[in-house]
């Protein structure tokens, strides 16, 4: 098979190598062996490659006069600089939802077909070693979306008969255990190791499961229908959930959720946002549209926006469709893929920049908001600091993430203080609130506010 080089892209459109951070375009040229007049191309997953570098996976299907004629998954192995090592194809009848490896000589790829999920096993060069159909092995048909590798098998998250489940199989897809079902609109979207067991979530329910599949507890908000899209676990066992315009932290003692940030930038129209943790403990997630604003964002654990970044994606507007579409490396570099009019893999540094090694990095603007006295009673002072220019505002949210008050900040000093209007305090009963400093509808700083009257 003729090897097709990836086209090196610069954010400045110069198409030159950018050192340790870069933007690359995945080339689908020459995939289909026959004449076609229509195609569907997408990027799905990005994981560390066996032997070093990165493995990018996508999917291509082709048609002629409205009839499907060929489809395959596509794999690109890239080195640390984003240069192509090889391109391979394998696995037909649908895009892979998730990919994991043993780090030595095996890749495991899961795919959903009309009769249930299927497992493809490849060696380190993407030669097919095995192929297993879950319904034929186990007698029923789950739809698996996410997957984790363990020494003696695979931990999978998906759905069975419309209910979310977590299950464990061996490497030939033989079922070892399955959790109790939990309610889902869709499927279990994510599964992550936590302690000696696992945590998982569907679009409405978060759950903790022990090492043999027993459900320990679940969280379901029947009043506000709180929604989730992805989860991640920090080194200190803090659990963060990505919701629609919100980030939550799980209280594993009280079995509740604490709001970390509200009014966060949203996702693409297919809701493929993903969340992960940086080595410094800050949260990073993908969200938004590149044609309308920033798409990569970082918050600290207290909910203060650290940065939001925009990139020239050359027409790509959707994030990768697989469960492994946001990768954070030990050095803090961040990788994610996007597709539509182009097909790009972006690698940034730990601050979200794509720069040459010798380019100066402009420090992120400093912003803060402080409230005192705390707890507040009959009056509250607010002090703000911002090096960013433009009109500022502030918003107050209750613990459910509902905005209860907002106002403008008048003045042009970098540091200023003012008293919160009494009408705002009158709206707040005893409790914990989140107050944010905003600029152009983007949160640039937050702090918590306690009210006791």
Omega prior to 228 cis, within 30 of 0: no
If one counts every other C-beta atom within 10 angstroms of the C-beta of residue 86, the result is 12
pLDDT at 272: 75
pLDDT at 447: 84
The phi and psi torsions of 131 (rounded to 5 degrees) equal: -150, 120
pLDDT at 243: 87
pLDDT at 24: 93
For 343-359, the DSSP string reads EEEEEE-TTS----TTS
Q: Are 382 and 397 in contact (CB under 8 A)?
A: no
368, two tokens: 């803060």
pLDDT at 399: 74
- In angstroms, rounded to a whole number, what is the distance separating the alpha carbons of residues 11 and 311? 7
pLDDT at 267: 63
pLDDT tens per residue across all 453 residues of the chain: 222 222 222 222 223 333 489 999 999 999 999 999 999 999 999 999 999 999 999 999 999 998 999 999 999 999 999 999 999 999 989 999 999 999 999 999 999 987 789 999 999 999 999 999 999 999 999 999 999 999 999 999 999 988 999 999 999 999 999 999 987 666 788 999 999 999 999 988 999 999 999 999 999 987 777 888 899 999 999 999 998 889 999 999 999 999 999 888 766 556 578 999 999 999 999 988 776 678 999 999 999 999 999 998 888 888 999 999 999 999 999 999 999 878 999 999 999 999 744 344 344 456 788 898 989 988 999 988 887 656 788 999 887 778 899 998 876 677 888 999 999 999 999 988 889 888 766 777 888 888 998
- In angstroms, rounded to a whole number, what is the distance separating the alpha carbons of residues 192 and 231? 7
Smallest Cα–Cα separation from 188: which of 159, 160, 231?
A: 159
Query: Three-state DSSP class for 11?
Result: coil
Q: Where are the alpha helices (DSSP H) in 75-139?
A: 134-138
Omega prior to 373 cis, within 30 of 0: yes
Q: Which domains does the chain have, with CATH numbers?
A: 7-348 (2.130.10.10), 367-451 (2.60.40.10)
pLDDT at 390: 63
Burial of 301 (0-12, 13-18, 19+ CB in 10 A): middle
If one counts every other C-beta atom within 10 angstroms of the C-beta of residue 143, the result is 19
158, two tokens: 């998906």
Q: Are 23 and 316 in contact (CB under 8 A)?
A: no
pLDDT at 108: 98
Counting every residue written for the chain, the total comes to: 453
């Amino acid at each position: 098979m003729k090897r097709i080089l990836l086209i090196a892209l610069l954010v400045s459109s110069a198409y030159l190598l950018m050192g340790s951070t870069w933007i690359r375009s995945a080339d689908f040229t020459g995939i289909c062996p026959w004449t076609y007049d229509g195609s569907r191309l997408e990027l799905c997953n990005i994981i560390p490659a066996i032997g070093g570098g990165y493995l990018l996976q996508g999917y291509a299907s082709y048609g002629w006069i409205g009839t499907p004629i060929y489809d395959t998954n596509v794999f690109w192995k890239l080195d640390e600089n984003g240069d192509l090592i090889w391109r391979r194809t394998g696995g037909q009848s649908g895009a892979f939802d998730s990919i994991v490896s043993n780090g030595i000589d095996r890749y495991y790829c899961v795919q959903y077909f009309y009769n249930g999920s299927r497992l493809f096993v490849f060696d380190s060069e993407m030669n097919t070693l095995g192929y297993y159909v879950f319904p034929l092995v186990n007698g029923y048909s789950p739809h698996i979306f996410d997957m984790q590798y363990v020494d003696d098998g695979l931990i999978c998250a998906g759905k069975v008969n419309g209910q979310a489940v977590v299950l464990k199989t061996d490497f030939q897809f033989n079922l070892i255990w399955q959790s109790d079902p939990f309610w889902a609109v869709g499927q279990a979207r994510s599964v992550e190791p936590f302690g000696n067991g696992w945590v998982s979530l569907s679009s409405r329910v978060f759950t903790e499961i022990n090492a043999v599949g027993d459900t320990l507890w679940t969280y379901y908000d029947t009043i506000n229908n709180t929604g989730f899209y992805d989860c991640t676990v920090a080194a200190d066992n803090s659990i963060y959930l990505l919701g629609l315009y919100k980030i939550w932290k799980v209280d594993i003692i009280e079995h509740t959720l604490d709001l970390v940030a509200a009014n966060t930038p949203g996702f693409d129209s297919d809701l493929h946002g993903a969340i992960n943790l940086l080595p410094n403990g800050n949260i990073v997630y993908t969200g938004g549209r590149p044609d309308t604003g920033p798409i990569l964002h970082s918050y600290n654990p207290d909910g203060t926006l650290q940065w939001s970044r925009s990139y020239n994606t050359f027409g790509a507007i959707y994030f990768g469709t697989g469960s492994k579409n946001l990768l954070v490396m030990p050095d803090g570099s961040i990788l994610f893929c996007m597709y539509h009019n182009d097909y790009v893999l972006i690698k940034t540094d730990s601050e979200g920049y794509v720069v040459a090694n010798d380019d100066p990095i402009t420090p992120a603007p400093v912003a803060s908001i402080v409230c005192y006295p705390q707890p507040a009673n009959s009056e509250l002072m607010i002090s703000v600091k911002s090096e960013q220019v433009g009109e500022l505002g502030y918003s107050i949210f209750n613990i459910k993430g509902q905005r209860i008050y907002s106002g403008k900040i008048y003045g042009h000093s970098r540091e200023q203080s003012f008293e919160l209007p009494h009408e705002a305090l009158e709206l707040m009963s005893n409790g914990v609130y989140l107050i944010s400093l905003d600029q152009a509808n983007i949160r640039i700083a937050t702090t918590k506010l306690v009210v006791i009257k």
